[in-house]
């Protein structure tokens, strides 16, 4: 392995903005302190690079090479058209993820950074294989029992107790065992990945007003509070459960290292309001480092050069920082 962190970028849905964002960031950052490996179809990357006015004349990736930017070529099944989803290329998207995962597990890459994908077209193109998102796919393919999704941006770190579930299923998915594991993963990764010795974590309630002493729901009384008491006894600094509508204010956040929200749309609208275009999605609990953009495929912008590279740049910066921290702790 070279002395510089090697970051693999999966270029995402070929009809979306991922390929052009990847080549734009790579073209602008060829002299950066990290090595970038773009994983995707070479011809697709060259075409999108030309469309946005940059060059993608980078060598093929060779492990141990000192090339600041290289391409790990994975061929498309069918030529991609910007803005037009094609289920024929669904397996291609998963192949790029598999290459990055395997490279991280083998120590070839120090971290993987993922451009946006389209869940619907993957499910349409891979019958019999339900795909609910990067987070769950990475957990399955690294044999990780439970992972935690966290977004970073706008001065906030917001983790989720549940991820991509219909709202009607959230309450049933909350249980003491899962919540203990989630908070333990969050605590451990704040310490090991972010270097925070004694993290202070704010925990949201599930119900309005954190259940209003049981009048608006009993999940706080029956599940959340007992878990927090149990983990506080081990030395964890956990504040809550707090009403989610008043949690995100300076008097709480200024002394907090992270927030745990109970479901996707409880915590993430606040973070995305504070950081959209600069936010980073981070998967905690994995044996590898993975960051991602905080936005979708933006099919309407694909091929136009108008998509903002800020979130991908932020994801690369965070991945590099975490990789350096990991190396220092090893």
Which CATH class, in words, describes the domain spanning 145-285? alpha beta
Question: What pLDDT does residue 30 have?
Answer: 53
The CA distance from 240 to 86, in Å, is 46
Question: What pLDDT does residue 180 have?
Answer: 98
Question: What pLDDT does residue 64 have?
Answer: 87
Question: What pLDDT does residue 74 have?
Answer: 98
The whole model's pTM is what?
A: 0.90
Regions of the chain where pLDDT drops below 50: 1-2
The CA distance from 6 to 294, in Å, is 22
Tens of pLDDT along 44-69?
999 999 999 999 999 999 998 889 99
Which CATH class, in words, describes the domain spanning 1-144+290-330? alpha beta
Whether 145-285 and 1-144+290-330 are alike in CATH topology: the answer is yes
Q: Where are the domains of the chain?
A: 1-144+290-330, 145-285
What residues have CB less than 8 Å from 320, skipping those under 6 apart? 5, 7, 33, 34, 111
Tens of pLDDT along 224-252?
999 999 999 999 999 999 999 999 999 99
């Amino acid at each position: 392995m070279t002395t510089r962190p090697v970051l693999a970028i999966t270029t995402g849905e070929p009809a979306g903005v991922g390929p052009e964002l990847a080549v734009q960031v790579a073209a602008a950052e060829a002299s950066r302190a990290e090595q970038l490996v773009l994983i995707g179809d070479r011809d697709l990357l060259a075409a999108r690079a030309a469309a946005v006015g940059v060059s993608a004349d980078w060598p093929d990736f060779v492990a141990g090479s000192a090339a600041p930017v290289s391409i790990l070529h994975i061929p498309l099944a069918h030529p991609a058209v910007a803005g037009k989803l094609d289920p024929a290329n669904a397996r291609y998207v998963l192949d790029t993820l598999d290459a990055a995962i395997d490279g991280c597990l083998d120590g070839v890459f120090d971290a993987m950074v993922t451009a946006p994908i389209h869940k619907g077209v993957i499910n349409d193109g891979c019958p019999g294989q339900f795909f609910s998102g990067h987070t769950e796919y990475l957990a399955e393919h690294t044999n990780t029992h439970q992972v935690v999704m966290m977004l970073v941006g706008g001065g906030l770190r917001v983790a989720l107790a549940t991820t991509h579930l219909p709202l009607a299923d959230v309450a049933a998915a909350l249980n003491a065992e899962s919540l203990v594991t989630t908070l333990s993963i969050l605590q451990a990764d704040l310490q090991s990945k972010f270097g925070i010795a004694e993290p202070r974590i704010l925990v949201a309630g599930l119900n309005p007003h954190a259940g209003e002493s049981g009048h608006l729901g009993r999940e706080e009384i029956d599940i959340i509070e007992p878990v927090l008491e149990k983990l506080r006894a081990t030395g964890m600094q956990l504040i809550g459960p707090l009403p989610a509508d008043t949690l995100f204010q300076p008097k709480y956040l200024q002394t907090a290292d992270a927030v745990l929200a109970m479901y996707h749309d409880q915590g993430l609208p606040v973070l995305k309001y504070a950081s959209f275009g600069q936010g980073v999605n981070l998967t905690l609990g994995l044996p590898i480092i993975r960051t991602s953009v905080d936005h979708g495929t933006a099919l309407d912008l694909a091929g136009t050069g108008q998509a903002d590279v800020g979130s991908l740049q932020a994801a690369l910066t965070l991945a590099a920082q975490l990789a350096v921290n990991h190396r220092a702790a090893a």
